[in-house]
Amino acid sequence: MIERLAVIGVGLIGGSVALALREAGMVKEVVGCGRSLENLQKAQSLGIIDHFTHEVSIAVQGADMVLLAVPLGAMRATLQALHGHLSKGAVVTDAGSVKGSVIDDVKAVFAGMPDFFVPGHPIAGTEQSGAEAAFSSLYQNRRVILTPMPETADEAVRRVKQMWCQCGAEVTRMTVAHHDEILAATSHLPHMLAFSLVDSLARLKENDEIFRYAAGGFRDFTRIASSNPVMWRDICLANQQALSAMLTRFADELHLLAATLEKGDGEGLLTIFERAKKARDRYIDGVQ
């Protein structure tokens, strides 16, 4: 049982954790913290949080579990605001999708890696944001990756793992570098491709007609281009090295595809398409 959960950033991710724990009967009190009064009031009216404050230092007081669900660009300032205000025995975790930058921020603020901080990342989400987007089943049968450091206390890891399991998630562990490489390929690159495609088409002179005749495939592929631009700017910059390498590799693949098409190589195109279909069917649709 979490006695008092402090959610810093009451949006889709943080709000859904609070709702899932409430539904499971595993949290007694939830305090929300954020900048938008309207969003915090909405979160309270929806039963996501019990009360709220704009001050991180106040939100974390008395909390035994603190979840940082803020954009990566705001992580260091948030850590600075809570430094010196945590209760004894409190565990702090985050939901940032780039772990290297979060750990750098933690070390900069605390002059090292504190044993109570457990870096984490739920592999779940939608293109929606804000408290109204939160729902209790977001993490059901989804993966959450923890990347504890050598300094991280085993008990802190156990408590964070238990929290996510109570939300219905499957918890796994990775090294920081491996996490950031995997997410660059499976999450950050697709978002960049979706943003880039929509932006490219929007700048065409005939863009109204193009979007008017866009069918389901276009909507499915570009859905994530409706995600929060500020959040994704921060993610891309935070994972710059791994993402740049993945973009370069993908650009090479696009050049190869273009050359195959230019040559009229139908067999080459079919080989690429069949290989892609088999891979997706096996590794995506085949995962229960």
Cβ–Cβ < 8 Å for 95, 13: yes
**pLDDT value, residue 285:** 58
206-240 pLDDT, tens per residue? 777 788 877 788 888 888 899 889 889 999 999 99
239-262 pLDDT, tens per residue? 999 999 999 999 999 999 999 999
Cβ–Cβ < 8 Å for 73, 98: no
Phi, psi at residue 121, to the nearest 5°? -155, 110
> SS3 sequence, 113-146?
CCCCEECEEECCCCCCCCHHHCCCCCCCCCEEEE
Percent of the chain scored above 70 by pLDDT? 98
Evaluate if residue 288 carries a pLDDT over 50.
no
How far apart, in Å, are the Cα atoms of 39 and each of 21, 135, 158? 20, 15, 31
Where is pLDDT greater, at 125 or 141?
141
Q: How high is the mean pLDDT of the chain?
A: 93
**pLDDT value, residue 242:** 94
At 53, is the secondary structure helix, strand, or coil? strand
98-138 pLDDT, tens per residue? 999 999 999 999 999 999 999 999 998 787 889 999 999 99
Q: Going from the N-terminus, what domains does the chain have, and what CATH number goes with each?
A: 2-174 (3.40.50.720), 178-285 (1.10.3660.10)
**In the Cβ-directed half-sphere of 246, how many Cα atoms lie within 13 Å?**
20
**pLDDT value, residue 163:** 98
**pLDDT value, residue 66:** 98
> Average pLDDT, stretch 46-71?
97
**pLDDT value, residue 287:** 52
> Average pLDDT, stretch 87-99?
96
d(CA 190, CA 177): 19
Q: Comparing C-alpha atoms, which of 13, 47, 45, 42 is closest to residue 30?
A: 47
